[in-house]
Structure 1
Amino acid sequence: MSKTQANILIIDDDEDVLLSAKLLLKKQYTNIITRTNPKEINQLLSTEAIDIVVLDMNYRIGFNDGKEGMYWLKHVLDINPKMIVILMTAYGEVELAVEAIKKGAFDFILKPWSNEKFLATIHAGLELSKSNHKISILKSANEALVKNIDQKFGAIIGKSDAMQQVMEIIEKVSPTDACILILGENGTGKQHIAREIYKQSNQKNGPFIHVDLGSLSENLFESELFGHKKGAFTDAREDKPGRFEMAEDGTLFLDEIGNLPYNLQSKLLTVLQDRKVSRLGEGIERPFNARLLFATNAPLNQWVIEGKFRQDLLFRINTVEIEIPPLRKRPEDIADFVAYYLNSYKRKYHKSHLKINDHAIKVLQSHHWPGNVREIQHTIERGVIMSDGQEIRASDFNLTALPITAANSNPEYNDFNLQNIEKLLVQKAVEKHEGNISKAAKELGLTRAALYRRLEKFNL
């Protein structure tokens, strides 16, 4: 018979009692820890993922009032209010044990005990411990999911050969547990691909946890990904699981992996190798079971050569690579995107009568789309909003004001509107570096965050 995974701590000053309890429990549970001195509780709770603490009521010879048991009960619950504590007591101390339950103990076991009653109490305590842990994880996971509740992810659009090849790879890799690295320029839909893999995976009934590493500061990295213990830092007011734990039996998507600072890459590598996480301020290693997906628009292979990205981490995260082609390399998909977003925004803005005139269609098809799918989405939304009549004109898109082809072919470009010039420079920089935001931002003399703000500002 296989044993139940559990860490049970028993503390009693009588070695014979400890031996009897251990012999009984080790037949059914994986790890039974016994100690004679309750002063070791602090060290054990900080280094072991204890599920249940079984406490004797008295430890000093000649003292039978149970005050020590009450003291250590309070001490354990101060450390972890959700810890399952079971007291061991003699017949004469039943009234005291009942008082202890009122103060937070789960149950008590009478000495000498009935083996059946002992096992039943441990089993019930373990079930509650597991339930408490799941509730904590689900609460944190729900908070993370609520942040993305307004985002809609439908079917992947694109009938081009390039996108059909991407879909074939997705179909092959989704049912596996392989780590997948999704590559593509800014706005190509990397999160969309990640969610499609999740929907086709064996983990589709578990949570999908998305983490944008580009938005995490170094100070928040460990806390957000690995969790933290109450008091680990100033604002840590309660124990909190990290994203790895939240994604249990589901999928964890680490977006913008190229933004991870070099000094933190080794910490992530260790977690991926060991499949265990330690919460900040806590020495306990907690195993996790989650499918891992990664994405970036950064040239990681080049960064490995330049010493900006660890080669061993790259090997770990890209068992399979999926590269999403930019929109300019699959122009045959533009019409499908236009139709999809036009229908969507006509419904949203109650303009069911709208159509796009022929000239506007030609402008859309000739545009270079440096912002890829995200840009075409914002462009169509703007067109629907700005249109006054029965049809959307090219001027409603605000693309004709800055045709990159015209700017390139005419060295005497005479538009002195600062916003137009700024938009042109942003477009040209993003195009030059093929959607690599880090390189484009560097050439423009901006931070990544500043460039992202301008991309949003200009609907790119």
Structure 2
Amino acid sequence: MKSNILIVDDNQSVLTALQMLIQTTFEEVFTLSNPNQIPSFLQQNSVDIVLLDMNFKAGINTGNEGLYWLKQILDIDKAISVVMITAYGDIELAVRAVKEGAFDFILKPWNNDKLLTTLNAALKLRKSKSETARLKKTTGILKRELNANMPVLIGESNAMKRVMAMVKKVAATDANILITGENGTGKELIAREIHNQSHRNNEIMVSVDMGALSETLFESELFGHTKGAFTDAGEERIGKLETAEKGTLFLDEIGNLPLSLQAKMLGALQTRTITKLGDNKAIPIDIRLISATNKDLKAMVTEGLFREDLLYRINTITIQIPPLRERENDTLLLAGFFLDIYAEKYNKPGLSITRGAKNKLLKYKWPGNVRELQHCMEKAVILTEERVLDKSSFSLDSTDHYKKPALPFDTIEEMEKQMIMASIKKENGNMSLVAKKLGITRQTLYNKLKKYGL
């Protein structure tokens, strides 16, 4: 073990004996006979272990001097391992020194093997503390980088000002937030803004796209699993809830959470503990939950597809994100923002938009909201060979969209009712087969029969 040790003792014979004993074990062995030199020495030199005498004044054997200098050393570097050494075997003093931060306590005259074993253990602790501090520092840098490189929120409309006022209010709390809105409105950006304004902003926000997970992966992805929990579980995995410890967990499209897992999610939120797949040990968690959806969760509760108690748990506060068509001139602000980004990305500096093109952008309804506008601007920048984007640069008329076939029903409810009636007729009234064919539970089917008076 090649490391540095500092021996502090007012007895020169002791210093010499210790130096001779451990000089082949440590790369550098420093000695001091005056403890007053400790602070300046530690500030100028790298030291892993301090072997510190408890008493420096003749006739005074209380150990108070050693305890005082122990505190001074740890104030300078908490990772240093301090081993106390004294000729006076006072077990109460030993316990006190360890309680106040010493690694261990050695009595004079010492046993060489025991002393070296103690120093070896002290060095391992020092290395462990140093590595932990390094990893913590690296993790902090990575977290700051992740948080710094997120897209910014653009909007000056009254609708967005109301949203941002709500964000400011709820960010200061740990309340569970449900963000609702159409596809492409920027629900994850709002979640990020809440995280950035919260007291958890030095930790990460872990995002999970519930719509992108297969049902078989949900439990493993959210709660983690132990090695051998299932056929392909070759190693232990930490779930998203545990990864988000001290930070924020963002569940996008929470409406896609299978009913079979909703009870487990509810339990985790209520008890603030999780249990990995294949394990029975409860792991405490400290997270802030933000969920988002474009579905009508209340309607899903009525249909038996979403637990009512879970809905109450996840939406202490609900934030509704307005669609782009209701955000006044935010469309032009966002268009200019995306224009600058893609002009730089595709090396087309100095691009601008004509008034006619701006009017066209304002009149369009943007069914895909901000995400559609972003893709539209990128496409326009890529294809243009001019310095100015005019109306022809933006293909927003109906011919550019898939034509929707005429529907035989005026409402979704009417279509659903007809599908149920047709299925009942086809299956000769066998409700189990009807529910199976429609992909719903029997209870949901009965709820719908009651709803439509069938």
| TM-score (norm: length of structure 1) | 0.57
**1:209 aligned to 2:206?**
yes
Q: What is aligned with 2:335?
A: 338
Is contact 2:275–2:283 with CA below 8 Å preserved after alignment? yes
Q: What is aligned with 1:361?
A: 358
Residue type at the aligned position of 1:399: L
Instruction: Please point out which of 306, 311, 315 is paired with 1:314.
Output: 311
Instruction: Please point out which of 273, 277, 292 is paired with 2:274.
Output: 277
Q: CA deviation at 1:128?
A: 6.2
Q: CA deviation at 1:425?
A: 2.6
Is contact 1:394–1:400 with CA below 8 Å preserved after alignment? no
Write the distance in 2 (CA, Å) between the matches of 1:300 and 1:185. Answer: 13
When residues 121 and 272 of structure 1 are mapped into structure 2, their CA distance, relative to the original with a 3 A threshold, is farther
Q: What is aligned with 2:404?
A: 425
What is the root-mean-square deviation in Å for CA atoms of aligned residues?
A: 3.9
Q: CA deviation at 1:318?
A: 0.4
Instruction: Please point out which of 362, 368, 373 is paired with 2:370.
Output: 373
Q: CA deviation at 1:198?
A: 0.5
Write the distance in 1 (CA, Å) between the matches of 2:329 and 2:187. Answer: 20
Write the distance in 2 (CA, Å) between the matches of 1:149 and 1:276. Answer: 26
Is contact 1:232–1:280 with CA below 8 Å preserved after alignment? yes
Is contact 2:147–2:204 with CA below 8 Å preserved after alignment? no
Write the distance in 1 (CA, Å) between the matches of 2:322 and 2:182. Answer: 8
Is contact 1:211–1:254 with CA below 8 Å preserved after alignment? yes
Write the distance in 2 (CA, Å) between the matches of 1:233 and 1:207. Answer: 29
Is contact 2:342–2:378 with CA below 8 Å preserved after alignment? yes
Q: CA deviation at 1:135?
A: 7.4
Residue type at the aligned position of 2:305: K
Encode CA deviations 1:199-254: one digit per residue, 9 max, x unaligned: 00010011110011111112111111111111112222221211111111111111
Q: CA deviation at 1:400?
A: 2.9
Instruction: Please point out which of 317, 320, 325 is paired with 1:323.
Output: 320
Q: Where do 1:43-442 residues align within 5 Å?
A: 153-400=150-397, 402=399, 420=400, 423-425=402-404
Encode CA deviations 1:244-287: one digit per residue, 9 max, x unaligned: 11111111111110111212211111111111111111111100
- 1:370 partner SS: coil
When residues 254 and 376 of structure 1 are mapped into structure 2, their CA distance, relative to the original with a 3 A threshold, is same
Write the distance in 2 (CA, Å) between the matches of 1:354 and 1:161. Answer: 29
Is contact 1:338–1:380 with CA below 8 Å preserved after alignment? yes
Is contact 2:147–2:196 with CA below 8 Å preserved after alignment? no
- 1:425 partner SS: coil
Is contact 1:387–1:393 with CA below 8 Å preserved after alignment? no
When residues 184 and 152 of structure 1 are mapped into structure 2, their CA distance, relative to the original with a 3 A threshold, is farther
Q: What is aligned with 1:29?
A: none
Q: What is aligned with 2:31?
A: none
Write the distance in 1 (CA, Å) between the matches of 2:228 and 2:307. Answer: 32
Residue type at the aligned position of 1:424: K
Count of residues paired in the alignment:
294
- 2:193 partner SS: helix
When residues 380 and 328 of structure 1 are mapped into structure 2, their CA distance, relative to the original with a 3 A threshold, is same
Encode CA deviations 1:107-130: one digit per residue, 9 max, x unaligned: xxxxxxx9xx99x989x88x969x
Write the distance in 2 (CA, Å) between the matches of 1:401 and 1:297. Answer: 24
Q: CA deviation at 1:433?
A: 9.9
Identity %: 45
Residue type at the aligned position of 1:191: E
Residue segments in structure 1 that go unaligned for 5+ positions in a row: 1-113, 403-419, 448-460
Q: Which shows bigger deviation, 152-161 or 162-171? A: 152-161
Q: CA deviation at 1:151?
A: 11
Q: CA deviation at 1:153?
A: 2.9
Residue type at the aligned position of 2:207: H
- 1:424 partner SS: coil
Q: CA deviation at 1:395?
A: 2.6
| TM-score (norm: length of structure 2) | 0.58
Is contact 1:183–1:296 with CA below 8 Å preserved after alignment? yes
Q: CA deviation at 1:394?
A: 2.4
Residue type at the aligned position of 1:272: L
